[in-house]
Amino acid sequence: MVCLMARESTPADVSPAIRLAEAVCAVIADHGLERASIREVASEAGVSIGAVQHHFRTKDDMLVFVFEHIVRATTDRVRQVPLGQSIAQNLSLVLRELLPLDATRQREARVYVAFAARAATSPRLAAVQAETLAQITGQLAEVIERAGSQGKPVSTFLLSARDEAALLLAVADGLMFDAITCPDNLDPGRLTTLLDAYLTRLLGGF
């Protein structure tokens, strides 16, 4: 239910489209993307089918809107992460926002995996996903470049900053994917241990 709202939002701040997007999110997280029909979303949001259709002409319109909002919600959370001097620690804090470490992030991750699966066969969702990955990878590459210039043991960098960033994002996405599809295997404690071990290996410690 809270997967799209910024923490400070109150119901009065939220537009009808965002409320509907929340309902889409809830349906997907609880029942999967297959059940996220205009009808089901109307029922979840307690509005008429016409009210949903007023905002979203097709299911794909609805899904693109929701996908973009999840990305925005995650980006907003990442912006609020308090950053310090340690680059490894900063990367860890930022990437933890992508991992299913609490109920909100679990829900977001479930929705994200469902969208990504659909992106494989939907050009419109694929375009949103491509932009999202490019943006995150670009930001990670900047941080990794800065780490190199601050005297981190760059001998551990085997690749260009851009490739190291793509590999680092793959680590976070893989942990998220394995945890969402098999939660008993990767609880929050183990997820952060594995992420931090990777960052230690990359940056030579915290």
Q: Which positions from 105 through 144 interact with its own copies, judged by CB under 8 A?
A: 110, 113-114, 116-122, 126, 129-130, 133-134, 137
Of 48-56, 61-69, 83-91, 190-198, the window that binds its own copies (rule: CB under 8 A) is 190-198
Q: Token match 């969402």: residue?
A: 180
Among 17, 51, 78, 167, binds its own copies (CB under 8 A): 167
Q: For residues 35 and 111, give the distance between their C-alpha atoms in angstroms, rounded to a whole number.
A: 12
78 or 126: CB nearest its own copies? 126
Burial 72-87 (b: 16+ CB within 10 A, else e): ebbeebbeeeeeeeeb
Q: What are phi and psi of 184, to 5 degrees?
A: -65, -25
Among 30, 102, 142, 187, binds its own copies (CB under 8 A): 30
- Beta carbons within 8 Å of 163's beta carbon, 6+ residues apart: none
Among 32, 72, 142, 187, binds its own copies (CB under 8 A): 32
Q: CA torsion 171→177→178→180, rounded to 10°?
A: 140
Among 138, 158, 187, 206, binds its own copies (CB under 8 A): 158
Q: How far is the CB of 29 from its own copies (least distance, A)?
A: 8
Q: How far is the CB of 129 from its own copies (least distance, A)?
A: 5
